[in-house]
Amino acid sequence: MTPAPLRRPASRAPQWPDPMDLLSFSGFLGSGKTTLILALAKELAARGHRTAFIVNEVGEVGVDQRILRDDGLEVYEITSGCICCQMGVDLVKTLEALVREERPQNVIIEASGVATPDGIADSLSYYGGPPFASTRSIGVLDPTRLEALIEVMTPLIESQIAGVDEIIVTKTDLATGAEVAQARSVAERLNPKAALRTLSATDPVALADLARSLAEPGRTS
């Protein structure tokens, strides 16, 4: 039997006790998404925010569940496929259940390494729960592998850059100056409207500053 097609919700719940903000992180495996998310988690926890995570593990190491759960943060796993395509329905169901049961102030989605921002946005268009006060997408770039990745996965990598609100070039402590410059150039060419910053995960001050920036609803730097 052919399954019935998905239908976008006609209306959403009119009331919610607190405004909710949604952040989604995309980037190829090993780009540094988890490091950034953990830093953001600590900042949000320090502010007393109720934060919920949807993480995706498809042949990769996802967010450290034990750390997040020890901090009182809830993690929902989707392990049988990519949240932006195969598991789009599960993403919506998970998100709606998470919002209904946990009533978070922040929802953070860590997409798989093969997810695209447009694919995530398309899946989220079926979400029928209370509306979010703000939604932002963050693309994470690894300058040490960018040239090689673009060479073999051009459509995927370019779509991960072109479809986000903010781009973060990571691993500046490991990359050469030329690699960082190339990553910035590629990001500016493919997505000139996105906010752009560079970051080393070994710099706790820069990491904390980024987390504070991302913790502010609707703010990019």
Q: Is residue 43 part of a domain?
A: yes
Q: Is residue 7 part of a domain?
A: no
Q: Is residue 171 part of a domain?
A: yes
Host domain of residue 96: 21-215
- How long a stretch of residues is the chain? 221
Record the tokens describing residue 14, joined without a space.
């009119």
**Burial grade of 70 (CB within 10 A; 0-12, 13-18, 19 or more):** exposed
For residues 197 and 68, what is the distance between their CA atoms, to the nearest angstrom?
A: 26
Q: Cβ contacts of residue 171 below 8 Å, gap of 6+?
A: 32, 142, 143, 144, 200, 201
Q: Is residue 193 part of a domain?
A: yes
> 62: domain CATH number?
3.40.50.300
Taking only the tens of pLDDT, the chain with its 221 residues reads 444 444 555 444 445 556 789 999 988 888 888 888 888 887 888 888 888 888 765 444 455 566 666 766 667 665 444 443 334 457 888 888 888 888 888 888 888 788 888 888 888 898 999 989 999 999 999 999 998 888 888 998 898 899 999 999 999 999 999 999 999 999 999 999 999 999 888 888 888 888 888 777 654 44
In this structure, the strands spanning 134-141 and 21-26 are parallel
Q: Cβ contacts of residue 122 below 8 Å, gap of 6+?
A: 84, 88
